[in-house]
Amino acid sequence: IGVGLVSFGLFFLLFGILLYFDSVLLAFGNLLFLSGLVFIIGLRRTCTFFFQRPKLKGTSFFLGGLLVVLLRWPVLGMLLEAYGFISLFRSFFPVAFGFLGSLANIPLLSQV
């Protein structure tokens, strides 16, 4: 259920961006993505991930961007969310790029 919710959330986010930042689709995608994340890793782990002391700045930008999107300012909200997402998952990007580089056997991507 969680993987499906995250997948639909990412689909609605992409579809909302493609339709010139439609605020309803972006808000629905954000809510589906967060609820799917809760279903995948659990409520307690989700809260401990988002509310760790070093990640509070990224969490505040991400959740603030979600609130701004819900208040019908989609472009500004998505910019805030993007900054928050990058600062939250900064430590995960090298692992993901290494995995994709080894999976597709792309030497430049695995070095990044």
What pLDDT score does 97 carry? 73
d(C-alpha 93, C-alpha 86), whole Å: 9
Instruction: Sort residue 106 into left (φ over 0), alpha (ψ -120 to 50) or beta.
Output: beta
Residue-range domain boundaries for the chain: 1-104
Contact 36, 5 (CB under 8 A): yes
**N- to C-terminal Cα distance for the chain?**
33
Tens digit of pLDDT at every position of the chain (112 positions): 999 999 999 999 999 999 988 999 999 999 999 999 999 999 999 999 899 999 999 999 999 999 999 999 999 999 999 999 999 988 887 887 777 777 777 666 556 5
What pLDDT score does 89 carry? 86
